Every structure is written in structure tokens, then in C-alpha cells.
Structure 1
């Protein structure tokens, strides 16, 4: 089956709910957006390590720690069960973007979904890929019964902040000194949106 095309203003609405692939036209060619599969693990590992290495201030996960992770532990990202999913953006066979979402499982917080790991390769930024992936995660979480989506973003990452605001997220607070990289602290905005 051919992937559906994303071409209207609300192009991402519904993507992510039925685990179907969608296409997003960009000036650099069409990008396929779809849920992760186990055979994507090698490409995911490369992209995730690049994100952690090139932007350590943007992620609480540590590059050096992840370098030593074996394949079995990388595979844990793909043991989604019913409470998590990762969405990928591919241009041909090249993984150019990703984001994940995890549902809280505690009885008191199971109405929350936490978006994590948003990363787009620099050459592919500015084409709506991150926005489409974040919307896919929100749609998936809503379909699973979540009422609120939450995420954190370093206060210095203005492009990511604008992206999340365009997805309907609002700043709900600031986590001071949330991340420490090379002796420098970074504050993080806490953001949320209703689903």
C-alpha cells in the first residue's frame, strides 16, 4: 500500500494513530513518516548517537554512556508494548528525523504522555518534519487515552521552542539547571498541551 500524502494545512492530523506511513513533500524531496520497526535499529542508533554527540545540551541522555550500550539494550527502545512508540522520518533509505512518546503507567499520571528524543538532521530542518512527527506522537497518545502531552526543551533552543509552540505546546514552568554539560548548566522549559 502506498503511503498517504501529507499536503494540506492539517496534513498530519490522524497520522500516527493507525501506524500507517505518510509522505511529506519537502524542497529536498519526499520524506516518509512512519512508526519505527525493529529493523530500523541500526539507523536509529546512528542518528541517536549523532544527536547526543552534536547537541549534548538538548538531551538528558549522555553520548559517552550510549556509546557503550550493546545491541540488546538498544533494542529496548523498540520494545514498545502498548505504552510507547517512536516515529521516524526517512528520505529514501536515510533516517533524517525521529521522535518518541511514552505513556505514563501510574494510576495517578496515566493521563500523561511524554514526548522525547526529537531530532532532525540539520540539512532537513525547517521543512515541517519535526512538527509532523510531534503531531504524530500527540495523535497516537490521544488515541491511547492520554489527555496531556508533555516535553522539555532547553531554554536556549529557540527553534525547537517555536516548533513546539506551533504544535500547541505552552510553557508551564522552568526547570533550573536541568542539564549539565562541560561544567555549564542549562535550564529547561517544561511544556504541555491538551490532547
Structure 2
């Protein structure tokens, strides 16, 4: 899959809190089964909550012109024995931008960022989300596990496929 995105990707800063809040809440509303959090949980949070999230974490945004069309986060695992691993989280691309390469551009930006920090990046994706799995595979991720009943919403369980990609750290 070629990356033919017209999206420009950059790390989001605290001053991006308003558009980040908007897209994050849209993601939680339209694709609620894909996230551990919920619209109800984050929808009542003030703008400062999202500003603090962007100040403390690495979140990337894909922009088409001035419009934020996608987001993806990165965090390094805690603890000395797991610090060599990172996690891609909160991936969402607005329906209007799907199939344009914006998602692939976001994943590549996260992986480029992660290469300077960790040796391995992991993620979890709802097992019936074939489009997302194809995207992640096209970026080098491979499945290494399957978590049964990982998420539960409205009385329904969702399994998640666990995926990872090994990175090469720059030599020092």
C-alpha cells in the first residue's frame, strides 16, 4: 500500500487541545468498541484535561489543510524491565479521511518517534477490525496474541488482536 496521503503529520501540543478533544470524543462516540475509554468518561472532562494529556503524552495529529483528520498516541512502558517497549494507542482517522493514507502516515510518524526511544512497539486492535489490521500489517506489525473478552460494552464482549513491530535503535 503506497503512502499517497496529502495529510501533514505533527506532534500535537497543548494549544491543540480543542481540536484534539473534538476528534477524540468523535472517536469514542463513532468507534466506541475500539477504545478502552468511553465517551461518557471523557465527554464530561474540561478542555484542561485534554490540554494536560497533550502536555504529558506523545500524540500525533494528521492534518489536511487546517483540519485535524486523525490522531495516534505513543507511550513508553513503565519500569526498567519494560522500558524497551512502547505502545501505540488512541488511533483514529475520521471517516472522510479513511483510505487516503492519513492512517499510514500517522503510524509511520509514531514509529519514527518510537525508534529513538524503544526497541518494540505494541498495540491492541479489535479483532473484527480488518481494515485497521491491514494498516498495521502494512507498517510491519505482526500478531502475537489474542485477548478474549478484552473489552465489554453494552453487554457485548470484544476480543483484541495483540500486535507488535520490532524497531532498531540507532547505534551509540
Cα deviation, residue 184, structure 1: 0.5
Structure 1, unmatched stretches of 5+, are: 1-8, 12-24
CA contact (8 A) 2:14 2:52 kept: no
1:122 aligns with 2:95: yes
How far, CA to CA, are the matches of 1:87 and 1:140 in structure 2?
Answer: 10
Give the one of 137, 149, 156 matched to 2:110: 137
Aligned residue for 1:59?
Answer: 35
Cα deviation, residue 76, structure 1: 2.2
Runs ≥4 residues deviating over 6 A: none
How far, CA to CA, are the matches of 2:116 and 2:138 in structure 1?
Answer: 21
How far, CA to CA, are the matches of 1:51 and 1:147 in structure 2?
Answer: 29
How far, CA to CA, are the matches of 1:169 and 1:32 in structure 2?
Answer: 23
Aligned residue for 2:147?
Answer: 175
Aligned length: 166
1:160 aligns with 2:136: no
1:34 aligns with 2:10: yes
Cα deviation, residue 31, structure 1: 2.0
What whole-Å deviation, never above 9, does each CA across 1:143-181 have from its counterpart, x for those lacking one?
12x000000000010000000011100111011101111
CA contact (8 A) 2:142 2:164 kept: yes
Cα deviation, residue 141, structure 1: 1.0
How far, CA to CA, are the matches of 2:43 and 2:58 in structure 1?
Answer: 22
CA contact (8 A) 2:147 2:162 kept: yes
Give the one of 26, 48, 53 matched to 1:77: 53
Aligned residue for 1:187?
Answer: 159
SS in 2 for 1:105: coil
Structure 2, unmatched stretches of 5+, are: 168-172
TM-score by length of 1: 0.81
What whole-Å deviation, never above 9, does each CA across 1:5-27 have from its counterpart, x for those lacking one?
xxxx6x7xxxxxxxxxxxxx54x
SS in 1 for 2:137: helix
TM-score by length of 2: 0.92
